[in-house]
Amino acid sequence: MLRPQDSATRERRSLTGLWRFRPDADGVGRAARWFAGPLAEARDMPVPASYNDIVPGRELHDHVGDVWYQTTTRVPRGWAGERVVLRFDSATHRATVWVGETEVMSHEGGYTPFEADVTALVTPGEEVRVTAVVDNRLSWETIPPGMVVETDHGPRQKYMHDFFNYAGLHRPVWLYTTPTTYVSDVTVVPGIEGEATAEHPTGTVDFDVAVEGQGDVRVRLLDAEGTQVAAADGASGTLTVADAHLWAPGDGYLYDLVIEVLGADGALVDTYTQKVGIRTVEVRGTEFLINGRPFYFRGFGMHEDHLTRGKGHDDAEMVHDFELLDWVGANSFRTSHYPYAEEVLDYADAHGIVVIDETAAVGMNAAVGAVLGMTVDQVFSPDTVSERTREVHAQAIRELVARDKNRPSVVMWSISNEPESHTPESEEYFRPLFELTRELEKHRPIGFVNVMYSPADQDRLMQYSDVVMINRYYGWYNDTGDLAAAEDALEAELRQWEAHGKPIIMTEYGADTVAGLHDLTGAMWSEEYQSEFLDMYHRVFDRVDAMAGEHVWNFADFQTSRGIVRVDGNKKGVFTRDRRPKAAAHLLRRRWTGRA
């Protein structure tokens, strides 16, 4: 599924702004046909944004079930004769959409786009009403999983992941056009001929273009100055670029692959431009190589989480976060624990930031759930995470790879965070998902993120992973407050993982910290303890040759479900939720940049 864009043959109209909004706690709106007319008893709601924190009180914050969104827009008169498409960049966690009174699409999964051809339902020059019902409920057949508990006081949503279940329309909504014959998909695979580290490398771009309708395909590759550096006729092939400017960490150099569909008379029918970064990714022994050079991940697990708007995308907040990443010296991040907005990955592509791209498969671990107050006897079973869940999980992987396959910033796929991974049931569940991902993706490493309850001598999934990615909290959840014992335990376990002969990335390590809390004895929750904690981990990392990266948990404090182990959310950020630095941010800046 290609993103909407403006070109000589395409136009788009953003439907972001204020929509009419109404919660439907009793789930009566579908039967009552709320989509059939103006939404009654509605209030304004910004799109994109989570709805949970917009209105004071508990009603929307703790809402479980359907909410309704509605807007009207005028279809441009100049769109006559064009194919018109309605696209939602996401709806968390599922949605059904109507145009007028006609249902046009439904989608499961809260973080990937979906769209429908609505040409027959709109009239250029006239208004059209768009209505969406969005359901935030999690079950054993969703990614992430959860369960709704019915109580005397209404439904309560329970889940086993440690971030708040923000919901709504978090990303832009679009009406856009294409010609009736159009480019429907493109896949690019970059490469380097010969020695990747050569001073003047020769780059390659394999391309495969799909077209709906009849037409001849021509492709042209332009450099950043607009100069053509390669061209070819045909829907698939390989372009060769002499003295290529490689995409590299810190250097987000992008070429434009201009795809043109030509009619029988040679006239332009459709054109679409795909950004391309020429680079290679390889795992060789315990090294992670980008363009043939060892790459060490420095950065964070992050969250799409901000005050008021929750998970709603905002360009100002996004750019500020990237500027903070640059200030602290980070070169990478993981999209923990779901695919981020496409605008975020656009920015990473353009600025040379390396990304580990992760599905929303988090919360598949009873031990983690117990810490958060949800008790489950067995995670993988016919009654909990099951074959049906795996079907949903597989579709989430397909949609993630289809969306992000052409991005140079994405160097690895993570198909799950912190699942149970030491039992036969977990291996039976995950083995087909690793196989699927390898079928979909030929040139990137794939993996999952291991948690402490499945240690190196018991884990059954790392054999399928190209890279060892682990989350560890020695000194916090283990050896609590005892950094000397934690240092010994951490190094001992890393030595066990080192025996796998793969690169090791510490994808999470951190300590909850209350900004402004200081203690000369290094008490837990103080800024001093967080700094000492990180220092200890870094000493160990520097002694283990197989280490290929360190991602601190977390970039910034974030909201979670309410419970006795969380006070106004998770406080492991090195920045506060409103992006003020704790002492640990300065410590990381010194380590990663050498600057005070």
Distance, CA of 543 to CA of 460 (rounded, Å): 26
| Closest alpha carbon to 51 in 92, 112, 87, 15 | 92
Single out the catalytic residue among 418, 420, 527, 550.
Answer: 418
The answer for residues whose C-beta is within 8 angstroms of residue 199's C-beta and 6 or more apart is none
| Closest alpha carbon to 145 in 158, 162, 131, 132 | 158
The neighbouring-strand residues paired with 86 are 116, 175
Using DSSP bridges, classify how beta strands 236-241 and 228-233 pair: parallel, antiparallel or unpaired.
unpaired
The neighbouring-strand residues paired with 71 are 130
- Are residues 89 and 342 in contact, defined by beta-carbon separation less than 8 angstroms? yes
Single out the catalytic residue among 260, 427, 508, 527.
Answer: 508
3-state helix, strand, coil in the chain (%, to 5): 20, 35, 45
The answer for residues whose C-beta is within 8 angstroms of residue 395's C-beta and 6 or more apart is 108, 109
Task: Tell me 249's DSSP state.
Answer: T
**Is residue 508 among the annotated active site residues?**
yes
Helix (H) or strand (E) holding 559: none
Distance (Å) of CA 390 to CA 143, 337, 395, 428, 536: 9, 17, 8, 10, 39
**Is residue 441 among the annotated active site residues?**
no
Cα atoms found within 13 Å of the Cα of residue 438, Cβ hemisphere only? 10
User: Rg (Cα) of the chain, in Å, rounded?
Assistant: 24
For tokens 């800046």, the residue is 589
Task: Give the pair of three-digit tokens for residue 509.
Answer: 């390590």
- Are residues 374 and 160 in contact, defined by beta-carbon separation less than 8 angstroms? yes
* Cβ neighbours, 10 Å, residue 423: 15
Helix (H) or strand (E) holding 436: helix 424-440
Distance, CA of 379 to CA of 364 (rounded, Å): 6
Task: Tell me 235's DSSP state.
Answer: S
Cα atoms found within 13 Å of the Cα of residue 194, Cβ hemisphere only? 12
Task: Give the pair of three-digit tokens for residue 278.
Answer: 């020429």
- Are residues 149 and 155 in contact, defined by beta-carbon separation less than 8 angstroms? yes
Burial class (CB in 10 A: 0-12, 13-18, 19+), 18: exposed
Helix (H) or strand (E) holding 540: helix 527-541
Q: What angle do CA 387, 390, 396 make, to 5 degrees?
A: 155
Maximum pairwise Cα distance, the chain: 80
Using DSSP bridges, classify how beta strands 446-450 and 410-417 pair: parallel, antiparallel or unpaired.
parallel
Task: Tell me 104's DSSP state.
Answer: E
Q: How many residues does the chain have?
A: 596
Active site residues: 418, 508
